[in-house]
Structure 1
Amino acid sequence: MATPLLDRIPALLHQVAFRRFWTAQTISFLGDQVSTIALPLTAVLALNASAAQMGMLGALASLPNLLFSLHAGGFVDRSAKLRRIMVLCDLGRAAALATVPVAYALDCLTLPQLWAVAFVTGTLAMLFNVASNSMFAALVERADYVAGTSLTRGSFSFSWVAGPGLGGMLVQALSAPVALVADVVSFLTSGLLLRSINPREPEPTKHKEPSHIREGLRFVNRTPVLRAKFLGGGFLNLFYTIYFTLFLLFIARDLDLPPWMIGLALGLGAIGALAGSFVTGWFTRRIGLGLTFIAGSILFPGALVLVPFAPSNHWVSFGLVIAAELLSGMGLMLCDIAGSSLQQALTPDRFRSRVQGAYLALIHGVRTAGALVAGALGTLMGYRPALWLAVIGGVISVLPLLLAPVAGMKTLPDQAE
C-alpha cells in the first residue's frame, strides 16, 4: 500500500536542502505574483493607463516565454548550473523592480519604463522556472513526486491567489510603486536561500540546438497525456489571461471597489488555494490523479463566473469576488498539482528542462496573445461581456483532457519513452 501523501510531506520538509529550495521557490513565486498586481496597479493608479496600454503591459510580461522558453530549456539542460542560474535570476529581478519606486520618487516614472521592467522580470522568471523544474528532480526521489509536487506546485498555485491579494494590500498601504519594494526584498531573500544549498546537479547534455529543442518537442507530441496537457493548458491560460487583464479594470472602475477591498478579497480567496493543497491528496486517492486533474481544470475557470454577475453594490460585489477566488483557488491547486505530477512522472531526466521550457513557451506565449486580445475586447465589448467570454472559453479548454487517456490514470504513470 502506498504511503499516504501527508506522511511524506513532513519527511521531505525534514531534508534541509529541499526545505530551503522549497522556501526560496515559494518566496520567489510570491514575489512574481505580487508584481502581477503591483505593476498593473502602478500603471492604472499612478499613470492612468488605458485598456490597450494594460494589454501591452501584460503582453510584454509574457512575451519572453514565447521568445526564449524553448532555448532556455536547451540552455539549462546543456549547462546544468541550476543553482547559479536561479540565484542570478532572483538578483536580476530585484534590480529591475527597484527602478520603479526610485523613478516614482524622482517623479520620472513612465509607461515605457514599466513595459521594460515587465519584459526583463518576465524573462528572468521564465528562466528561473525552467531551472527550478530540473532542480526539483535533483532533490526529490521518484516515490515522493506527488508529495514534493504538492509542496512546490502548491506554493506556486497559492502564490497565484495570495500574491495579488498581498499586492493589493501593499498598494493600499504604501502606494503601488512603493509596494514593489516588498518584491525586491523577496527576491533577495530567495537568492540567499538558494546560495546556501549544494544540490547534486544533473550532468549537462551535449546536444546542440536546434536538434536539441526538436527532440523535446517530439517527445511531447508522441506522449498523448502530455500533448493533451499542453493543448488544454494553452487554451486555459489564453482565456484566463483575458479574464485577469480585464478583472482589475472591471472591479476598480465598473464596480468601483477601492484598493483595500480588492486586496482583501483576493487575500481571503487564498484560503481556497490552501484548502486545495490539503485536499488534493484526498482527491487523488479517491478518484485518481487523472480525474483530479480534470476536475480542477473545470473548477478553476468555472468558479470565476461569479465575477461578471457582480452588481454595483460594493458589499455584494466584494462577497462574489471572495467566493469566486475561494473556489477558483481550490480548482487551481487540484489542476496544477495533479497535472505537474503527471508531467514529472512521464518525463525522463534528459528531457525535463526542454519539456518545461516548451510548456512555458506555449503557456506564456498564449498569455502574450491573451493580454493583447483582452485590450481589444475590453475596448470593443466592454469589461463585463469580455469577462463572460473568458470564463466560458476557460471551461471549454478541458476538452483535450477529456479526449486523451487522462481520466483513467489512477496513480503516477511510468516514464514515457
Structure 2
Amino acid sequence: MKHFLQTSRRASRSPEDPAPPAGRPVPLRRQRDYRLLFTARAVTETGTEISRLAVPLTAAALLGASPAQMGALTAATSLPHLLFGLQAGALADRLRRHRPVMVGCDLVSALAMATVPAAWAVGVLTVPWLVAVAFVVGTCSAIFRAAAFPHLTTVVPENRRTEALAGFQSAFAVATVGGPGLAGLLVQLITAPFALLVDALSFLASAFLIRSIAAPENHVPAPPRGMWTEIREGLGAVARNPVLRALCGAGVTINFFGGAFMALFVIYSLTVVHLPAGLVGAVTACFGVGGLLGAAVVPRLTRRFGENAVVTCAALLFPIDFATTALVSGPPWRSFLFLAVSAVISGLGVVAFSICMGTITLREAPAELRGRVNATQSFMIQGVVTLGGLGGGLAGELLGLRPVFWISAAGVLTATGWILLSPLRHFSAARTP
C-alpha cells in the first residue's frame, strides 16, 4: 500500500536527491528517466497479471495439482518476502548503485519464467518445477523492490515523489483492469504455459528500460556492520519514529483484516450472494478502476491538503467495502451494483493510502536507512496477509461468512487509531505545486 506536520521533521535533502527544477516544473511524463522507469513498471505489472492466471491454470488444469500443491505454489510466491525481505533491505542500503541489481533481478526472472514453456514443450514440466519458478521470481521481486525504493530518489526530486508514486499505482491499476482479460485471451490462443512467455518478455523489456536510465547514482552506502545489526537498525528506525510506527501499525491492521476478507470473498460471492463467476471478476476490475481514479486525484489532493490529511481519509474508506459486502442481499444484479461501487471506493482508498505512505516514508526515513525501513514495512505489512487469511478461513468455519465481514469492517476501522494517535493527525496548510 503506498505526505506538513507541525510536530514531525521534514527530512533534509539527501546527497542523491536531484535539485528541484527552476520555474514551473516539467511534467514527469515529459522527463525521460521517469518515463523509462514508469514504462518498466507498467510492462512488468501487466506480465504479473498474466502469470497470476496462467501459472495456477497450468498447475491445476494441465498438471493435475492437488489442493496442497496449489497452496505450496501460492506460498512460494510470497515466502521469499518473509525469508529475505529484511536482508534485501540491508543490502540495498549498502549499495552505491541500485540499478544493476534491479536489471539483474529482471533478467533472472525472465529466464525462470521462460523455463516453464520450454519444460512443457519437451514434456518435463511438473508442479515442483512451477513451485521452484515461483520461489525464484518471488525472491527476485523481494530484492528488486528493496533496491527500487531508494533508487526512486535518483530519478525523482523530493517535491515530485507523490506524483511519481501515483503514476506507478496507475500502472498497477490499469494492469488489474486489463491484465486478467489479456491473460484469458492468451491462454485461449496459445495455452497457459506459453502465455508465460509474455511475462518473461515483460521482464526483459523492464531490464532494458531500467538499463537505459541516464540519471547518475550517487547514493552514499551505509557502512557494513553485520547483517543482523543492520536489520535491527531498520526495525529500530520504524519502532522509534512515531510517524513510521503509525503507518506500519495501520498497514498491518488493514492487511490482516483484508486478508481475512479476501480469503472468504469469492466463496461468499458465489454461494451466498449467487453472483456468476464473470461478475465476481468484474468486481475485481472495479477495484482497478478505483485505483486509477485514486492515482489521478491523489497528487492534486496532497498538494491542496497534504499527505497527512489524505492518508487519514483513505484509512476511513476501508470499512465501507467490508460492511457493504456483509449487507448485500436480494437479486444478484443489485448485489453486484453495490459491490461494484464499494470496490471502486476501496480501490481508491488502497491506492491513496499506498501513495501517501510511500511519500511519507521517503520523507521520514533517514537516507542511509531507506532500504531497510521499506523492507521492514513490507515484511510486516505483507507478511500479516497470510495470518489474516488463515484466521479468516477459521473464523468463517466457526462463525459463518457474514459475521467475519462485520468483524473485519470493525477491525479495519481501528487502523485510523494508529494515525490519529500519531503526529500524522496534524494536517498542514494548502501547498502550491
1:302 counterpart residue number: 320
2:17 corresponds to: none
Unaligned stretches of 5+ residues in structure 2: 5-19
Report how far residue 225 of structure 1 moved.
0.7
Contact in 2 for aligned 1:273/1:333 (Cα 8 Å)? yes
Task: State which of 132, 150, 165 in structure 2 corresponds to 1:149.
Answer: 165
Aligned CA distance change for structure 1 residues 66 and 206 (closer, same or farther; 3 Å): same
Task: Map 1:228-377 onto structure 2 (within 5 A).
Answer: 228-251=246-269, 260-300=278-318, 302-310=320-328, 314-377=332-395
2:148 is aligned, of 132, 135, 140, to 132
**RMSD of equivalent CA atoms:** 3.6
Equivalent pair of 1:85/1:131 in contact (CA under 8 Å): yes
C-alpha distance in structure 2 between counterparts of 1:239 and 1:366, whole Å = 9
Q: 1:59 aligned to 66, 75, 100, which one?
A: 75
Which residue of 225, 236, 243 maps to 2:243? 225
Q: In the alignment, is residue 32 of structure 1 matched against residue 48 of structure 2?
A: yes
Q: Residue in 1 aligned with 2:415?
A: 397
SS of match in other structure, 2:424? coil
- What is the rounded CA distance, in whole Å, between the counterparts of 1:223 and 1:182 in structure 2? 42
- Asked if 2 retains the 8 angstrom alpha-carbon contact of 1:52 and 1:376, the reply is no
Whole-Å separation in 1 of the counterparts to 2:396 and 2:65 = 13
Tell me how far apart the structure 1 counterparts of residues 262 and 365 of structure 2 sit (CA, whole Å): 31
Q: Where do 5+ consecutive residues of structure 1 fail to align? A: none
- Aligned 1:49-198 pairs, distance under 5 A: 56-101=72-117, 111-156=127-172, 159=175, 163=179, 167=183, 177-198=193-214
Bigger shift: 246-255 or 268-277? 246-255
- Residue 205 of structure 1 aligns with which residue? 222
1:292, CA displacement in angstroms?
0.8
Q: Could you list the per-position Cα deviations for residues 183-230 of structure 1 after superposition, in whole angstroms to 9, with x for gaps in the alignment?
A: 223222211211222332213322222222222222222210100001
* Greater gyration radius: 2
Further displaced range: 389-398 or 44-53? 44-53
User: Residue 164 and residue 251 in structure 1: after superposition, are their counterparts in 2 closer, same or farther (change >3 A)?
Assistant: farther
Aligned equivalents of 1:132, 1:412: Cα separation in 2: 30
> Per-residue deviation at 1:317?
4.7
Mapped contact 2:119–2:125 kept (Cα < 8 A): yes
> Structure 1 residue 244: deviation in Å?
2.7
1:173, distance to aligned residue in structure 2 (A): 6.8
TM-score of the aligned structures, taking structure 2 as reference length: 0.80
Distance 1:180 1:388 in 2: 39
> What TM-score, normalized by structure 1, do the two folds share?
0.83
Structure 1 410/392 Cα, relative in aligned 2: closer, same or farther at 3 Å? same
The sequence identity of aligned pairs, in percent, is 35
Contact 1:37 1:164 in 2 (8 A): yes
Identify the residue that residue 14 of structure 2 maps to in structure 1: none
Between 275-284 and 300-309, the greater mean CA deviation after superposition: 300-309
Residue type matched to 2:159 in 1?
A
User: Which deviates further from its counterpart, 201-210 or 366-375?
Assistant: 366-375
Contact preservation (8 Å) 2:173, 2:288: no
Say how many residue pairs are matched.
408
Which region of structure 1 is more displaced relative to structure 2, 375-384 or 261-270?
375-384
Asked whether the 8 Å contact 2:246–2:418 carries over to 1, the reply is: yes
- In 2, the alpha carbon distance for the partners of 1:384 and 1:173 equals 39
CA distance in 1, matches of 2:293, 2:249: 27
**One-letter identity of the residue aligned with 1:343:** T
Instruction: Name the SS of the counterpart of 1:199 in structure 2.
Output: coil
Query: Which has the larger displacement, 388-397 or 188-197?
Result: 388-397
- Report the 3-state secondary structure (helix = DSSP H, G, I; strand = E; otherwise coil) of the residue aligned with 2:423: coil
Say if 1:64 and 1:126, in contact at 8 Å, map to a contact too.
Answer: yes
Query: 1:29 deviation in Å?
Result: 3.2
